[in-house]
Structures are given as C-alpha cells and as structure tokens.
Amino acid sequence: MTSVVARDRIRTPQRPGDVIFSTATVVSGSLILAVLAAVAGFLLIQSLPAFVAAPADFSGGFTNFWSYVWPLAFGTLWSALLAMIIAIPLAIGIALFISHYAPRRIAAGLGYVIDLLAAVPSVVFGLWGIGVLAPLVQPFYANLVDWFGWFPLFAGPVSGTGRTILTVAIVLAVMVLPIITALCREIFLQTPVLYEEASLALGATRWEMISMAVLPFGRSGIISASMLGLGRALGETMAVAMVLSPSPTVLFQLLTSQNPTTIAANIALNFPEAHGVGVNILLATGLILFVITLAVNMIARYIINRRKAFSGAN
C-alpha cells in the first residue's frame, strides 16, 4: 500500500506555479554565485599587472605592490576595528533598552529614529565629521594627550584639526550603529517568553534575566549583526576620504595628524587621476579588500555554526 502511494506521488505532475517558483529560486541562487565569481575573476585578471609592476609605477616610494597595499590594509582593518569597539556595546545597549526596558511608545519612536540613521548618505556623515565632530573633539584629544600621552595609543603630537583615525572610527561607528541595533533588537525580541519568565520566577532581577536568557539566546545573532556592520565599515569610502588626513604609513596612534588611510578611500581619491598600470594597482587593492571582506564573513559563519542550539540567529 505504501509503495502504491509513493508511485502515485511520483507520477503526480507538478503545478506550473511550483515549477516556476522552484526554477526562479535556483536561478536566483545561482545568479548570486555567478556575479560573485565574475567580480572575483575581473579583479584577479585586472590585478595581475600590479603584482609585477616596477617600483616607478607606485607613488610614495614603494618598491612593490605588497609594500604599497600593506599600510592601506592596516588602515582599513584598524579603523573598522575601532569603529566596532565603539559601536557594538552601544548597539547592544540600545537594543536591550528598546526591547526590554523602554515603554512601548518610547521604544517605537526610538527604534524609528535609529532606523532613520541607516538612510543618511555617507557624504552627510562625512560633512558632519568635518564640520561638527572634528572641531568638537579636538580639545578633548588635546586633554587626552596631556593626561595619557605616556600610553602609546594616545601619544602626541595631537592633531590641530581633530581629523584623526579616532574621529573616523566615531563616524563609522555612527554609520554602522543602526544596522547592528536593528538586528540585535529583533533577535532579543525573539527570545522565548518562557525563558524570561522562568528566570524571573527563580528570583532573578531583570538584568540577571537578560544576562542568563536573552544574551545567550542572541549571541550568534549579535555576531551576525556585528559582522554585517563590520562589512559596512570595511567598505566605507566617502566618509573616510572626507574626514581623514591620510598618509601611507602604519601608525597605531589615534590622535596625531598622520593617519593611515583605507583601501576604499585610497581608490576613491586616486582613481580619477590613475592611468595605465596605476589603474591596475588600484584594482589590485580592491581585490585585497574583497579578500578581506570574504575572510571576515567566512570567519563569522564559522563562529555562528559552532553554536546553532539555543540561538536566535538560526
């Protein structure tokens, strides 16, 4: 009887809508992989001349491509790391306030305002960083150098304009804040009510309930949101190019006038005047940024897959 039913199911023709939908999903998934492979292939082919370029083709006195791209890769990772250090705690705190502390009306209004930040163009953030943030924080930077100049990160001389790598990190943190906050808020709201009520019934305070039930449940989701924000910070161009006073150096100091630039900002600033092998060199730096972003996403996916159970990210 079971075999007869199975044969009838096999012989039943599929509906046209099912065929169209399944075909569309397969084509869409394959198209994403094809576009990704096409971008990678284009960058790789266009980057080959840069790997064997002569020292005269590099500006700044660099001898080869790797010595040229290393300060750019460092600046990209350093600015993004600083931005995430600032943004992640703020985003988690705002998401917890919206989801578990604020009254419903305030939570809805605050969530709407946070979401609106994602629609602000990068140029506006860059103008805000130059015209408002940099002059505002410059006296604070001077005090930091006076008080904590013995610490290598805060060593002087302090920038007179406030356009430093730390200012760029603050601008990037504000830019990625709505992305991380929105995702963390939705993850925290998905925490099963049974877990929260059980914690409270056992005598836990609200913060103990959050630390024992909400945060463990949303751990993988927090990582996913952070990696999505990190991808935005790694690829940001205009805000960094407008705020930062770049120099092709590797510096950990946060408050000096000399600052490492990023790959994306370097491409935006130099591409209009590039020609010949110079274009290939810039495309090769884009390939490095592509590899960095891909590696970050792969690491994030590995971390998330290690904790599939009791997680709001799956």
Structural domains in the chain plus CATH codes: 71-310 (1.10.3720.10)
Half-sphere exposure of 206 (CA within 13 A, CB side): 6
234, burial (CB in 10 Å: exposed 0-12, middle 13-18, buried 19+)? buried
Buried b (16+ CB within 10 A) or exposed e, 97-117: ebbbebeeeebeebbeebeeb
Which residues, at least 6 apart from 218, have a Cβ–Cβ distance to it below 8 Å? 184, 187, 188, 190, 191, 311, 312, 313
The confidence score (pLDDT) of residue 310 equals: 46
Positive or negative torsion for Cα 283, 286, 290, 291: positive
Mean pLDDT confidence for 167-181: 90
Q: In 10 A of CB 192, how many CB atoms?
A: 12
pLDDT at 4 over 60: no
Give residue 3's pLDDT band: very low, low, confident or very high (50, 70, 90): low
CA–CA gap between residue 152 and residue 130 (Å, rounded): 25
Q: pLDDT tens, 67-103?
A: 888 888 898 899 899 999 999 999 999 999 988 888 8
Percentage, residues of the chain above pLDDT 90: 6
Q: pLDDT tens, 211-233?
A: 888 888 888 888 888 888 888 88
- 245, 161 contact by CB (below 8 A): yes
> For the chain, what's the residue count?
314
Which residues, at least 6 apart from 1, have a Cβ–Cβ distance to it below 8 Å? none
- 247, 260 contact by CB (below 8 A): yes
SS3 content of the chain, % helix, strand, coil (to 5): 75, 0, 25
CA–CA gap between residue 254 and residue 226 (Å, rounded): 22
The confidence score (pLDDT) of residue 243 equals: 83
The confidence score (pLDDT) of residue 84 equals: 92
Q: What are the φ and ψ backbone dihedral angles of 259, each rounded to 5 degrees?
A: -140, 140
Structure token digits, residue 263: 């790959």
3-state SS class at 280: helix
Peptide bond into 16 cis (omega under 30): no
Mean pLDDT confidence for 285-291: 89
Q: What are the φ and ψ backbone dihedral angles of 273, each rounded to 5 degrees?
A: -100, 0
CA–CA gap between residue 55 and residue 68 (Å, rounded): 10
pLDDT at 311 over 60: no
Mean pLDDT confidence for 293-313: 70
For 14-18, 88-92, 275-279, which range has the lowest pLDDT when averaged over its residues?
14-18
Longest dimension (CA), the chain: 86
- 196, 312 contact by CB (below 8 A): no
User: Of 74, 79, 80, nearest to 249 (Cα)?
Assistant: 74
The confidence score (pLDDT) of residue 85 equals: 92
Mean pLDDT confidence for 164-190: 89
